[in-house]
Amino acid sequence: MSIILTGIIVTILSLIVIAFVFIKRKKIKDMIGMMAAMALGMLVGLTGGLLAGILYSGNLFISTVLGMGIGFLAGFLTGLPINVMAIIDGVLSGIMGGMMGAMLGEMISPEYQNRMIQIMLVIFVGMICIVLYMLQQETGFNRSSIINKIFHNPLIIAFVFLLFFYTYNHLFNELNQDYIASQKNSHMSHSLINKKLSVSRLNSSAKMKKLVIEATDFSYYPKEFKLTVGQPVNLILKNSGEIEHDIEFENMKASFLQQPQQGNHSKDQIVHIHSLPGKTSEMRFIPNESGVFRFFCTVPGHKESGMIGIVKVS
């Protein structure tokens, strides 16, 4: 949800800058135009790349191409009314920003994704304000202009910034309420979880959740699913590919259930199973803590080719 909201804010602010440069193009000096094109290209590339990297997690090719494309477009459109140098400046910055943003989005662990988007948005909005101020100064002081009124009074700037981030955070929290609520619940009911664990030890086959993950040559199906803390899981890895694959849940602590004595398990292990081509492997475990975790194939190169996914444990 935060991805869509951020995307909308970034698009609107970019269009304002592009429209401003286009309308006032005759009054803008080459140097200022180049700066504006470079700044917008870089900012849009970085933010767009980050969002693409998160959205297309596991496919760095698509997110890089998307990030570079978005940055290219922003730099090109801003530089277009100025001159060829401004276009080159804007386009190159956009491509660079898009690449870096996509890598960041791809590499950042899921629990920090929302925080990272917020940080990037703060940088984006702050820098766009400075760029607009620079353009406004360049095109002559105009008392009636809203931008000038805002920028010539530091108190109004502070107020606008506070209002923006308050509103953003508020919206953001509304949209993520379900998620936050579920996390809070899981924290508050730790004693309940322990009870659930002891119950599951006695009666784990009755409440066992069956989870089938199909691995193909270079993808998992499903790529996203939910588990419950304390609920035993029967994980089945079905390898439909031509080569061997495995699955590992990054940082997710689990207790293993061993057949035939299901009560006997070892704590805080990392779940990892392996399947030969055309074969099926199976293991039983209990997730011990809530959170969002990545899972991927540990065979070199496979994670990068798309064998990656997300599990939410609540």
Q: By the criterion CB under 5 A, which residues form the site for Cu ion?
A: 245, 297, 299, 302, 307
CB 283, min distance to Cu ion, A:
17
224/213 Cα distance (integer angstroms)? 10
Q: Please, which residue, 116 or 299, has the CB nearer to Cu ion?
A: 299
Q: Are 125 and 164 in contact (CB under 8 A)?
A: yes
Neighbours of 149 (CB within 10 A): 12
Cβ of residue 297: shortest distance to Cu ion, in angstroms?
3
- Cβ proximity to Cu ion, 132 vs 307, nearer residue: 307
Query: In the chain, what is the straight-line distance between the N-terminal and C-terminal CA atoms, in Å?
Result: 19
Give the shortest CB-221-to-Cu ion separation in angstroms: 13
Residue 288 per-residue DSSP state = -
DSSP calls for 210-279: EEEEEEETTEEESSEEEE-TT--EEEEEEE-SSS-EEEEEEEEEEEEE-SS-TT---SSEEEEEEE-TT-
The residue among 89 and 106 lying less far from Cu ion, judged by its C-beta, is: 106
Least separation in angstroms between CB 34 and Cu ion: 46
- Report, in Å, the least distance between residue 220 CB and Cu ion: 9
CB of 246 to Cu ion, least distance (A): 6
Min CB(303)–Cu ion separation in Å? 8
Nearer to Cu ion, 65 or 299 (CB): 299
Distance in angstroms (rounded) separating the CA atoms of residues 219 and 305: 8
Nearer to Cu ion, 294 or 302 (CB): 302
Complete DSSP assignment for 96-151:
HHHHHHHHHHHHS-GGGHHHHHHHHHHHHHHHHHHHHHHHHHHT---TT-HHHHHH
Nearer to Cu ion, 248 or 289 (CB): 248
Run of H or E including 185: helix 177-188
Can you read off the two tokens belonging to residue 304?
């990068």
- The smaller minimum CB distance to Cu ion, of residues 126 and 277, is found at 277
Q: Tell the smallest beta-carbon distance from residue 307 to Cu ion (Å).
A: 5
Residue 283 CA to residue 56 CA, distance in Å, equals: 29
Encoding tokens for residue 53?
């990297």
Q: Which residue, 47 or 239, is less far from Cu ion as judged by CB?
A: 239
Hey, how many other C-beta atoms are within 10 angstroms of the C-beta on 251?
12
